[in-house]
A and B are shown apart, each in its own frame.
Chain A
Amino acid sequence: MTETQIESTTDNPPEDIGLVKYDDFVTPDTFTFENGGSIPGFTLRYETYGRLNDEKSNAILICHPISGDHHCAGKYSDDDRKSGWWNNMIGPGKAIDTNRFYVICSNCLGGCQGSTGPSFIDPQSGKPYGLNFPSLTIRDIVRAQNQLIEHLQLDELYAVVGGSMGGMQVLQWVIEYPDKVKRILSLASAARQSAQAIAFNEVGRCAIVQDPGWEEGNYAPEKGPNVGLSVARMMAHITYLSDKGMEIKFGRSRRNDSEGHHLTKVEFEVEGYLRHQGQSFTNRFDANTYLYFSKAIDRFDLHGETGKLEDVFSKVQARTLVIGFTSDWLYAPRQNREIVIALLRCGKNATYAEVDMDLGHDSFLIDAPELYDFVRSFLND
């Protein structure tokens, strides 16, 4: 038995956190965006789990990926079919242990789940912002989150944790607020978006803006470019998986009712799966937010003017753990390693760990004991 296995078995068995509620942080202060433009105040929807200790030293901020939101653990009611998007990771006795930590997660600025974004009503016009919402960056998202952290009267964060687009926020956090962050944990992410990843995002954006339902971003709240958005999501979903993972999950299996030679009906299981992913996404996600978020990701590049990551990391004080996934080809291990190598080159405390799973980019969201071990060890060291 390994050291890690012995430790996990002595812990209390993990539980689900149960019922949770969201809250809204509303600020009337004008927010000015990195690339210009401003909005007269904003709302961030957020959830917290666990209890803040007296020293206020146990707060962990979770940063969500593109299609995530503030609801990362628990359920709103017993009737909810699904729990929050990272329920396997966060909860009492889980890798991010709410018995010990005070966990905060907010829907990003620009989002569509209650935070101010393109679908939010612009108080000046009385209509949704649409494309009048200013150009958004990862740094804007982080600066807005920081206002929530200040509102919660937290001077320090025990850790900032996130995967994919959430990992980019994590890196931006430690650069923007080096004195505030004690630990950062970035999973399946990158210090800058690769050409390949920009290319995939661009196909998704084209699908959205070429859907007549997009109407230059001015679609009515209940309408929108649903076909375009679902195609964007289907394609993006492929980039979150892997060849091997799809082979294991679907192979060439067909639907029972797929006899005959239809061209457009679902024939293979993988088609049905993707169509379902695409359609269900349109029920919960705003197409304009998808455009803004995907652009924010594409513009993300920490290498900056000098082209050297070391220069932006020079003020980092936090202990860093970066986890890459062998089968992730969207944010490949190489891109994750690069972050740690730059930190080590400037003498920072950083670790690179890699998890070997077949599931591609989405591995970080999957139930995987080896991943939990890394997260647990890092947060408890």
Chain B
Amino acid sequence: MVTRNLSRRQVDLEIITEWVEPESRVLDLGCGRGVLLQNLRDEKSIYGVGVDTDPIKINGCIKRGVNAYQGDIEDILKEFPDNSFDVVICSRTVQELINPANIIFEALRVGRAVAIGFVNHGYWMNRLSMVFKGNRIVNDVYPQQWYESSPENPITVNEFELFCKQHQITIKRRVYLAGDWDTKLTFLPNLLSGYALYEIAR
């Protein structure tokens, strides 16, 4: 299961690395141990800054020589002038935020573009679990039971795209991955994609 999670992480990382221009300035919100920023530095010579609240994850960044800020995402975003970064990354972070809209708007102010990836709650397996078992799904992606997980705002592809439309946010690129988080698909993404990744901008 560990390898499977790692390979899933890898998919996200590969697509974002492909999107980021060489030598850009990148801010990674919810950077974890800094694996993505390290990869971007090694492959694309970027200047990167990660943000995370967990000191153990910050320590992982320090080990990798990745710049990191231990603290609140909303607080640090306020400190940066408009367009300070070429890309702000929000990979599997947005569902854990309180009032994510504000953070998306701030990320769009601080960055010229925002790369945002999330697990699609509209994925058919997630629906089936609710419909047939009456239970919230517990699997590789959602390994924790409700009583041990952090509060989360489940997002679906449809809801996110509607949000962008309502707020005049341009979707510049999008990638839907199937339930295996590997195969790219374009057909019925809200139903069939397990993971969605967007590049958005104002």
Q: Which residues of A line the B interface, CB within 8 A? A: 2-4, 319, 321, 337, 340-341, 344-345, 347, 349-356, 370, 373-374, 377-378, 380-381
Contacts and interface: CB of A to CB of B under 8 A. Distances in A.
B165 interface: no
Contacts of B79: 341, 344-345
B59 A353 contact: yes
Contacts of B63: 3, 377, 380-381
A370 B58 CA distance: 11
Interface residues of B, number: 24
Interface in B58-77: 58-65, 67-71, 76
A354 B64 CA distance: 18
22 contacts: A2-B56, A3-B56, A3-B59, A4-B59, A319-B65, A337-B71, A341-B69, A341-B76, A344-B80, A347-B25, A350-B67, A351-B68, A351-B69, A352-B69, A352-B71, A353-B59, A353-B68, A354-B70, A373-B59, A377-B63, A381-B63, A381-B65
B68 A352 contact: yes
Given A319-B65, A352-B68, A381-B63, A345 B80 contact: yes
A172 to B, nearest CB: 22
B69 A340 contact: yes
A340 B49 CA distance: 11
A341 B55 CA distance: 17
Given A351-B69, A353-B70, A356-B55, 8 more contacts: A3-B63, A341-B76, A345-B79, A347-B25, A352-B68, A352-B71, A374-B62, A380-B63
Contacts of B55: 353-356, 370, 374
B47 interface: yes
B84 interface: yes
Interface string B8-46: 000000000000000001000000010000000000000
Given A341-B79, A345-B79, A370-B55, A354 B71 contact: yes
Contacts of B47: 347
Interface of B: 25, 33, 47, 49, 55-56, 58-65, 67-71, 76, 79-81, 84
A340 B25 CA distance: 17
Contacts of A337: 69, 71
Nearest to B69: A352
A318 to B, nearest CB: 13
Contacts of A370: 55
B67 A344 contact: yes
Q: Which of B58, B62, B65, B81 has the most CB of A within 10 A?
A: B62
Q: Which of A2, A345, A352, A380 has the most CB of B within 10 A?
A: A352
A212 B79 CA distance: 50
B196 to A, nearest CB: 29
B71 A381 contact: no
Contacts of A349: 67
Nearest to B80: A345
Given A3-B33, A3-B56, A378 B62 contact: yes
Nearest to A340: B69
Contacts of B33: 3
Given A2-B56, A353-B62, A344 B71 contact: no
A344 B56 contact: no
A11 B62 CA distance: 18
Nearest to A7: B63
Contacts of B59: 3-4, 353, 373-374, 377
A309 to B, nearest CB: 12
Nearest to A323: B70
A351 B64 contact: no
Contacts of B64: 381
A96 to B, nearest CB: 15
The 6 closest A-B pairs by CB, nearest first: A377-B62, A381-B65, A377-B63, A341-B79, A351-B68, A352-B69
Given A352-B68, A355-B55, A321 B62 contact: yes
Contacts of B70: 352-354
B184 to A, nearest CB: 32
B4 to A, nearest CB: 19
A185 to B, nearest CB: 10
Q: Which of B56, B64, B80 has the most CB of A within 10 A?
A: B56
Nearest to A2: B56
A80 to B, nearest CB: 34
Contacts of B81: 345
A351 B76 contact: no
Nearest to A379: B62
A129 B104 CA distance: 61
Contact of A353 (B25, B49, B58, B76): B58
A327 to B, nearest CB: 14
B64 to A, nearest CB: 7
A351 B62 contact: yes
Contact of B60 (A3, A354, A355, A378): A3
Contacts of B60: 3
A344 B49 contact: yes
A287 to B, nearest CB: 39
B32 to A, nearest CB: 11
A326 to B, nearest CB: 10
B80 to A, nearest CB: 7
A355 B69 CA distance: 13
A339 B69 CA distance: 11
